[in-house]
Structure 1
Amino acid sequence: METVKHADHYNRNLECPACGKKSRFKIWDRIQIDKNPELRDKVRDLSLFRFQCPKCGHETYLDYDFLYIQSNLRLVIYYAPGGGDVTNMHQSLQKPEYEFMKAFRYRLIRQRAQLLEKLAIFDAGYDDRVIEIMKVMIQSFLAAQASPIHASLIEFTHSESGDAFHFADQSQQKSGMLPFNDSMHQTYQALERDLGEALPPDDMLEITPQWAVSFVKDHQDLFA
């Protein structure tokens, strides 16, 4: 059966890694939530990428490049886990017909965990530039405790039970959580106000933990 290519997705024959049976699976090139609102939650719970073999029931998750657009969040994500170049895709969105997206955030993301965290940050109504900087500050705070915690991982989460930062010190096998409480929100607002124009443009593609470390180092006068 030939592959039928649509404007935003196509079907591919996939071979089950467990039993070898081939079956069809829908691959999404472009996920537009305005057009397909039912995909919003399927991206966040990863069910859109779950492949279940119809013969043996084996489940696996596929990781592939796609474009994600959600207008109510003013958000465009280039998800490219394979390390591909997104230049052509980015240039295609600069055409006149996409003028309405000029004020959108554009982000390039390479890892699934980072994709889910970015979506959580934007769903909660926060600026990922400020959140990444807060994670650097939390890392320093934890390391300065009487019993230091050297958090190798800090992740923002958003749920009905509340927003929080989860951290893990893999060397000591320690983990914990800091709720995004009123005090934390005040810190966020102060950073958002005080950093002002020092922050990079909102369409800067890569806002990562590494970027945040460099930003704090280069702007230490703003954190005194």
Structure 2
Amino acid sequence: MSNTTTCRLKCQQCKTEHEYNLHESVNVTREPELREQLFSGELTRFKCPACGWTGQIWYPLLYHDMQRLFMIWQWPPNSLPEPVEALRGEAMAGYRLRLVANRNELLEKILIFEDHYDDRVMEVVKLALAVQAAKGSGRLIGDWFYAGTIPAEGGSGEMLKFEVLEEDTIYQTSAPRSLYDQLEAALSDKMPPEKQGEWVRINADYAYSVAKACT
């Protein structure tokens, strides 16, 4: 089941303190409504009872999908949670365990796994697209996030959607699914295998390391 706890938060605007019920973990197989609350922002939103200020609250949050066999932990960058021996048991065979630094990464990772993609390959896809986009400007632009799929023009195949966040602006772009398929085939023997029970960060740094190993 999902776990909640109560803490006290100080409003960023009026500085008054109030109790806040936060979800330390959510099991969306048993409580699917929590997934929708997470994506809408309701799950991690704080509204000050005194002044009405509203904002998103960051804290370590574990997302668990038992049906699709993955866990994603929103966890502080440059650190790792304590090892959990139970994660190495037979019940966890086939699970993908990921660490993410923020809400955008968390939502993206959920979409990638729900759409049955390998997030390791998807990070390399994003790097390839960012490098291609940078040819005109001479620099890598923004943070790239997978945002689902759309039908290709003419109804043949599908396109991968991406949102590019640069400062306060969000750009949308797409790429053919075939790019993912090509990179998946090319990287099949170059990526280290998954280790059961190990939390890992699969992000842009990972994509750079894979690209470097291929050169």
| Aligned-partner residue type, residue 131 of structure 2 | S
What is the deviation of 1:80?
A: 0.9
Equivalent position of 1:24 in the other structure = 19
Identity over aligned residues, as a percent? 25
TM-score by length of 1: 0.77
Equivalent position of 1:93 in the other structure = 87
Tell me which structure has the larger Cα radius of gyration: 1
Equivalent position of 1:151 in the other structure = 140
Task: Report Cα offsets for 1:130-162 as digits up to 9, x if no partner.
Answer: 111111211222233xx3463332222127797
Cα distance in 2 for residues equivalent to 1:38 and 1:31: 10
Cα distance in 2 for residues equivalent to 1:175 and 1:53: 28
Is the Cα contact below 8 Å between 1:151 and 1:168 reproduced in 2? Answer: no
Equivalent position of 2:155 in the other structure = none
What is the deviation of 1:194?
A: 2.7
Aligned length: 204
RMSD, matched Cα: 2.9
Greater strand content: 2
Q: Which has the higher contact order (CA 8 A, sep 6+)?
A: 2
What is the deviation of 1:119?
A: 1.9
- Structure 2 unaligned segments of length 5 or more: list them: 152-158
Is the Cα contact below 8 Å between 1:76 and 1:104 reproduced in 2? Answer: yes
Task: Report Cα offsets for 1:172-206 as digits up to 9, x if no partner.
Answer: x99743324xxx21121122223213222235611
| Aligned-partner residue type, residue 74 of structure 2 | Y
Please, which moves more after superposition, 157-166 or 115-124? Answer: 157-166
Query: Where do 1:184-195 residues align within 5 Å?
Result: 184-195=176-187
Pick the aligned partner of 1:165 from 162, 167, 183. Answer: 162
Task: Report Cα offsets for 1:103-132 as digits up to 9, x if no partner.
Answer: 111101122222222122223321111111
Greater helix content: 1
Query: Where do 1:39-78 residues align within 5 Å?
Result: 39-78=34-73
| Aligned-partner residue type, residue 73 of structure 1 | R
TM-aligned CA distance change 1:9 to 1:83, over 3 Å: farther
- Structure 1 unaligned segments of length 5 or more: list them: 1-5
TM-aligned CA distance change 1:134 to 1:13, over 3 Å: same
